[in-house]
Structure 1
Amino acid sequence: MIQLLTPTHWKDYELIDCGDFEKLERFGEVILIRPEPQAVWNKQLPESEWQRLHHIKFKGRSATAGDWVKKSPKTPERWHIEYKNNEVAIKFRLGLTSFKHLGIFPEQAVNWDYITQNVKSFTTPEPKVLNLFAYTGGASLVARAAGADTTHVDSIKQVVTWANENQELSGLTNIRWMVEDALKFVKREVKRGKKYNGIILDPPAYGHGPNGEKWKLEDHINEMMHDVIQLLDPEEHFLILNTYSLGFSSVIIENLIRSAYPKVQNLETGELYLQATAGPKLPLGVFGKFYKNKS
């Protein structure tokens, strides 16, 4: 069954409205306007309300970069927010980057709850979790806070440093940081015979490794899936594959997973979205996930 999933209990984040290729969001006490290519419908709130509410707006200079325009110089460049569910609490340092990101993808909270649930349910003491294309570490923090021995892999040193800041903010320790090309790292782990109880993949459509390695989702994701399946502990595991690519559907994700792992159990596929307070649903990627318990 294809599912539509959205975070439901995050007090520090709110999608207020979206439309006309923009989104109006609250992160903690700070409200921002950012571009959103998928919001092709009309805004629900009047433009005057958007202008009244926001503190900062991103204005693009090119397809990949831009500037943040503040209404008040007192608005911070960096600030902290918290995420918690019934089992764990983590914190993030947010910041205004030149490519419109803040250091967090709020829709991923759905996957963080799934990680928490599975790590807590495993009988394996300190289950091993591998987070690939791990960015600033939301999934890594949640896995570690839930009790997992966690390895975080990303090719960009600056975002791994950012993730380490988030670890310290969250009062956590001992996440293993790897600045590496994800596909190369996985192949090396396969050769070593390593096993993980949990694997999270949130690959970009395009990317580069630290030594110039090229990643293109449609060219490499099938190879990656066949490799990571070999790393799963056969008795007790979970895997999450999340993609943000306009050309990918949840049916493609299902085919990828079933092709790489014909014996998959408890497979769920669907679409992640954010529910705007003003009404619209903003689609933000497709996912596939599955788990296996010893019981």
Structure 2
Amino acid sequence: MPDIHLITPAPWPDYELIDSGDFQKLERFGDFVLARPEPQAIWDKSLSDRNWDEQAHAIFRRDRQSPERGDWQTTPDMRDPWFVSFRQGGLNLKFKLALTTFKHVGLFPEQSDNWAYIHDTIKKLSSGVSRPKVLNLFAYTGGASLAARQAGADVTHVDAVKPVISWARENMDHSELDNIRWVVEDAVKFVRREVRRGNHYNGIILDPPAYGRGPDGEKWVLEEHLNELLKSCADLLDRDDFFFIINLYSLGFSSILLDNLMRQVFGMVPNSEWGELVVEDNYHKRLPLGVFYRFASV
């Protein structure tokens, strides 16, 4: 059994988890500090409420009528949208951020280690594959897609939400990249069709939500559909030169549960790593934000 790994982002000048606690997190994205809900931060804050309020340029307030939606209370100098950069190793990416009614800003900083992993793995695969093919499912605003494309991969980016695809396309342009294939479709439908066509990919990345809807109203429930989707992905993955990454944000999924599922679907795989996606705040409190599993032939 492999060791359980905790992934924390490498030092990143444009991102900082300043503090966490009382079911909230205080983060800096570039020039702006945001305060927003975080259900995993069950401990006390290290800083005072007054200090949080003094630092924050934007504070998310939940709508009493909706557990998911809300709005932002902002200071006059808060820009929306704004931009941050990510530079590490061979990666040089630029992302547009914006304040959404779902508290998200278009970027998940805990994924930055995966971006570096994708980039480095594709570079290794390229010694035996002229242009590795990568499929990014539930791809959101495209951090993983950009990392793969910048490494030289032929990238297919699939998401069911058209405005999110447009946002990802903007990130591609701002990162001075091109030729990503954009697909607005239900991920399960797309993968089934690719299997029927006999297509294969050297890299597959999954970042599925707990619940979701496809463009034609298709219902996605993680517990009900993940097993089937993983089996189809196993059929799509190249047998010789490959990598696979999955991230889960559902509170009901532990890394051990994911390890069981992955071993049943993929069997014994090389270079496997699995565990928690973690970001540490400035007071050394480690905030768990999801679980992951990844493996590669190189």
Q: Which bin holds the TM-score, normalised by the shorter protein?
A: over 0.9
1:144 corresponds to: 149
Q: Deviations over 1:30-86 (max 9, x none)?
A: 0010011111110011222111111110101121111111122x3111100011211
Residue aligning to 2:133: 128
Q: Deviations over 1:155-178 (max 9, x none)?
A: 000000000000000000000000
Q: How does 1:276-287 map to 2 (within 5 A)?
A: 276-287=281-292
Of the candidates 61, 65, 72, which is equivalent to residue 69 of structure 2?
A: 65
| 2:94 corresponding residue in structure 1 | 91
2:194 pairs with 1:189: yes
Give 1:114's aligned amino acid. Y
* CA–CA distance in structure 2, aligned partners of residues 218 and 102 of structure 1: 26
The residue that corresponds to 2:220 in the other structure is: 215
Check conservation: 2:91, 2:116, Cα contact below 8 A.
no
The range that moved more, 155-164 or 75-84, is 75-84
| Mean Cα deviation higher: 263-272 or 107-116 | 263-272
- Separation (CA, whole Å) in 2 of partners of 1:279 and 1:54: 20
Whether contact under 8 Å (2:115, 2:147) holds in the other structure is: yes
- Aligned mates of 1:43, 1:8 — CA distance in 2: 23
Amino acid at match of 1:21: F
4+ residue runs over 2 A deviation: none
Equivalent in 24, 27, 30 of residue 29 of structure 2: 27
Contact kept, 8 Å, 1:18 with 1:43, in 2: the verdict is yes
CA distance in structure 2 between the partners assigned to 1:10 and 1:225 by the alignment: 32
Q: How does 1:241-260 map to 2 (within 5 A)?
A: 241-260=246-265
Deviations 1:106-157 (A, max 9, x none): 1000111110111010121110000000000000000001110000000000
TM-score by length of 1: 0.97
Determine helix, strand or coil for the equivalent of 1:41: coil
Report the Cα offset of residue 24 of structure 1.
Answer: 0.3
Give identity over the alignment, percent: 54
Report what 1:54 is aligned to: 56
SS of 2:114's equivalent in the other structure is: helix
User: Does the Cα contact within 8 Å between 1:128 and 1:198 map onto a contact in 2?
Assistant: yes
| Maintained 8 Å contact 1:44/1:279 | no
Task: Report the more deviating stretch, 254-263 or 217-226.
Answer: 254-263
